[in-house]
Amino acid sequence: MFHPKGPSLFQLARQALSSTIDGYDLLADKFEHTPFRTPDLFVDVLVETALRGAHESILDIGTGTGAIPRGFLRERSDSKIIGVDYSKGMLEEARNLTRSEFADSSVEYVLKNALDIDYENQFDVVTCSGAFGHFEIHEYEQLVANIFRALKPGGRFLFLTYPKPTKANPAYWVARGFNIAMHVRNLVLDPPFIMFYLRFTVEQAAEILWRHGFEVRVEDPDVKLHRSLRLVMATKV
């Protein structure tokens, strides 16, 4: 559907009828060829920003097939990198892709729900890409608290997101329509598939991050064709 090596419509439908974790397990070997994988242009922004400050230890949350850890390895970063995900299938794919691209890598891929991580003062940088829409709104408090705890003092939580679009923007209505369809799907079908747009927008994220003690800076990363994309740099002060 997206790419000759990507999932068929039937495979996407099976994924949508599964739980979020099972859905990713089913999609794992095709994931690299879907638009859900963070594009390398975005990965590069996160990696370059991380490498401009302390970056000895890095945690990537919702690492999927390891797009971000592999981005660090491509820059020959000698950081100690841990990628966390709750889909076994995605992590298997991440390990395979990392091994085939980099003979000698020390990236550690850990099977864990981001809401259950208990790292303390361990990382210079935490990244997360493409996973925010898979959390319920009330779960952001736990997610952000876990990230704050995981960072060393002065450590940075780096991610890309968009401002909430105005109602005059057709993208707003497309996203709202998708979200309504997902709410209806989850009312009639069990297990739920948690995937929503308009989540962890610049405004929503900044408010939660400030409340948890982060200092927040927002920049325009100047990515072609993504004029409203914003880079959020939240520092644990």
Ligand X SMILES: C[S@@+](CC[C@H](N)C(=O)[O-])C[C@H]1O[C@@H](n2cnc3c(N)ncnc32)[C@H](O)[C@@H]1O
Of 84 and 167, nearer to ligand X (C-beta) is 84
Shortest distance in whole angstroms from residue 9 CB to ligand X: 19
* DSSP label of 108: E
Tally Cβ neighbours within 10 Å of residue 173.
Answer: 12
Q: Which of 6, 130, 155, 165 binds ligand X (CB under 6 A)?
A: 130
Q: Which of 87, 98, 146, 161 binds ligand X (CB under 6 A)?
A: 87
- Interface region with ligand X, contact rule CB under 6 A, candidates 82-90, 146-154, 170-178, 216-224: 82-90
> Does residue 36 belong to the site contacting ligand X (CB under 6 A)?
yes
Pairwise CA distance, residues 40 & 226, whole Å? 13
User: Sign of dihedral through CA atoms 51, 210, 217, 162?
Assistant: positive
3-state secondary structure 28-61: HHHHHHCCCCCCHHHHHHHHHHHHCCCCCEEEEE
> Does residue 119 belong to the site contacting ligand X (CB under 6 A)?
no
Shortest distance in whole angstroms from residue 71 CB to ligand X: 10
Token pair, residue 112, equals 């864990």
Pairwise CA distance, residues 114 & 134, whole Å? 11
CA angle 6, 184, 132 (to 5 degrees): 55
Number of residues that bind ligand X (CB under 6 A): 20
Cβ(170)–Cβ(209) under 8 Å? no
- Interface region with ligand X, contact rule CB under 6 A, candidates 110-118, 159-167, 197-205, 217-225: 110-118
- Interface region with ligand X, contact rule CB under 6 A, candidates 51-59, 84-92, 153-161, 229-237: 84-92
Q: What is the per-residue binding string for ligand X in 175-214, x denoting contact by CB under 6 A?
A: ----------------------------------------
Shortest distance in whole angstroms from residue 140 CB to ligand X: 11
> Does residue 102 belong to the site contacting ligand X (CB under 6 A)?
no
Pairwise CA distance, residues 149 & 140, whole Å? 14
Residues that bind ligand X (CB under 6 A): 24, 36-38, 62-64, 67, 84-87, 90, 113-115, 129-131, 134
